[in-house]
């Protein structure tokens, strides 16, 4: 019995909205899950249910407020278990990965002084670069870049040499959004700990594709977005170690994050509410619970094995296309395949694939420095998920050949 049969992909596909869409009168082949996944029907239904009889959460004594609060906090409990955190107080809801990273960069301002160093890798998304650059500029600290080899893997020996007593923060992605490299996070965190550095992991591309246990990884902070895991946009999660979140100052001021307010000053709320000022994306958080339940029911190991099979097959087929070069050949990769065609612009290929109903992403993928490192303006990126099939890969391969012929 093959992996697809074990998972019953046909049944899984019925759980998603949009798979049967027509794009330019062609059946949709959706290969852009790295940007955002298609949404589960159960997620959409949950969001609609909330808005059909909605109320604000916490403090309310009426039925709708109590119900919304219970559902909201049930998601927090589920996220805690999903990422292996010790306590639900360590789970902070945000707008997404980008806000989570900005939150951490902001609350760590007091931990950084002139001459300190922050390490990121050459693989980072702009959202895990710019907040640290802003912090470094304000505090007159230095950003150091962990280099990669030609295959797109962090050179651990060179990363180790960057670490010293001045290193205060190490911020690395779990899986590269642009070329798919899976980084050895547990090893990177262990090395960072030796010099007392704090560690933040951008898990946006990992959370729906591999099992994450923050205690096993040993990181101080881990963040991800709901829309990368079949859930709503505008909602994300920051995990932070309780002792750090207790010690660090709030991110924003306002309602919910306070215990008591007078004209003279305020007392901050307990965790996790200390970092959740204002009315949150209640519907998004409640909807996120359904996406996590789907992943748990399907099984992350099963999902990972199936997506690995798709990646392997896609890589094999695309390598046979003349003048096609795959960008990023790490030994361990997520379901992300970036490539270029010699002499042709990535946007032109993407446009012609779109004419055939095939959705891919083109450009620098918010990784301009990485593209510059490879001396290319961008790539064509196909990303795979649980609802993709070998037939999608065949259509992609044929679509590329047709696009090349037209150009």
Q: Which positions are annotated as active-site residues?
A: 366
Residues 6 or more apart in contact with residue 152 via CB below 8 angstroms = 123, 176, 179, 180, 181, 327, 328, 329, 330
C-alpha distances in Å from residue 49, one per residue of 42, 130, 284, 361: 10, 37, 12, 32
Determine the Cα–Cα distance for residues 311 and 333; give it in Å rounded to an integer: 9
Q: Where are the beta strands (DSSP E) in 165-299?
A: 167-173, 198-202, 221-225, 236-240, 258-261, 266-268
CB distance 381 to 34 below 8 Å: yes
Instruction: List 94's β-bridge partners, or say none.
Output: 236
**First-to-last CA distance in the chain?**
41
3-state helix, strand, coil in the chain (%, to 5): 45, 20, 40
Alpha carbon 258 to its chain centroid, in Å, reads 30
Give the Cα separation of 324 and 340 in Å (integer). 6
* Tokens describing residue 168: 């205060």
* Distance separating alpha carbons of residues 215 and 239, to the nearest angstrom: 11
């Amino acid at each position: 019995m093959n992996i697809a049969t074990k998972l019953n992909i046909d049944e899984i596909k019925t759980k998603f909205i949009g798979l049967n869409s027509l794009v330019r009168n062609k059946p949709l082949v959706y290969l852009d899950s790295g940007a955002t996944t298609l949404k589960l029907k159960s997620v959409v239904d949950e969001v609609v249910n909330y808005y059909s009889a909605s109320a604000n959460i916490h403090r309310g004594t009426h039925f709708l407020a109590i119900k919304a609060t219970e559902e909201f906090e049930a998601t927090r409990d589920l996220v805690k278990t999903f990422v292996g955190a010790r306590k639900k107080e360590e789970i902070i809801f945000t707008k997404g990965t980008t806000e989570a990273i900005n939150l951490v960069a902001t609350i760590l301002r007091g931990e950084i002084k002139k001459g300190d160093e922050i390490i990121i890798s050459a693989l980072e998304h702009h959202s895990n670069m710019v907040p640290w650059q802003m912090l470094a500029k304000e505090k007159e600290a230095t950003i150091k870049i962990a280099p990669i080899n030609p295959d797109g893997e962090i050179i651990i020996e060179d990363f180790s040499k960057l670490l010293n007593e001045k290193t205060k923060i190490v911020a690395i992605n779990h899986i590269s959004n642009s070329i798919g490299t899976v980084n050895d996070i547990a090893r990177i965190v262990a090395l960072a700990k030796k010099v007392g550095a704090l560690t933040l992991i951008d898990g946006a591309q990992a959370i729906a594709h591999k099992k994450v246990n923050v205690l096993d990884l040993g990181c101080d902070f881990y963040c991800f977005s709901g829309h990368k895991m079949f859930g709503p946009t505008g909602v994300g999660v920051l995990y932070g170690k309780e002792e750090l979140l207790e010690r660090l100052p709030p991110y924003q001021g306002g309602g919910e994050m306070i215990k008591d307010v007078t004209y003279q000053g305020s007392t901050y709320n307990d965790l996790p509410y200390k970092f959740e000022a204002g009315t949150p994306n209640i519907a998004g958080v409640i909807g996120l619970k359904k996406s996590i339940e789907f992943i748990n029911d399907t099984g992350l190991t099963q999902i990972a094995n199936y997506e690995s099979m798709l990646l392997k097959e896609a890589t094999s087929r695309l390598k046979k296309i003349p003048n096609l070069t795959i960008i990023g050949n790490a030994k361990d990769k997520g379901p992300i395949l970036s490539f270029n065609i010699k002499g042709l612009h990535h946007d032109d290929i993407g446009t012609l694939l779109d004419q055939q109903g095939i959705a891919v992403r083109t450009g620098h993928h918010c990784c301009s420095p990485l593209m510059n490192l490879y001396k290319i303006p961008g790539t064509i990126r196909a990303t795979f998920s649980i609802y993709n099939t070998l037939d999608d890969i065949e259509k992609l391969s044929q679509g590329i050949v047709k696009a090349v012929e037209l150009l």
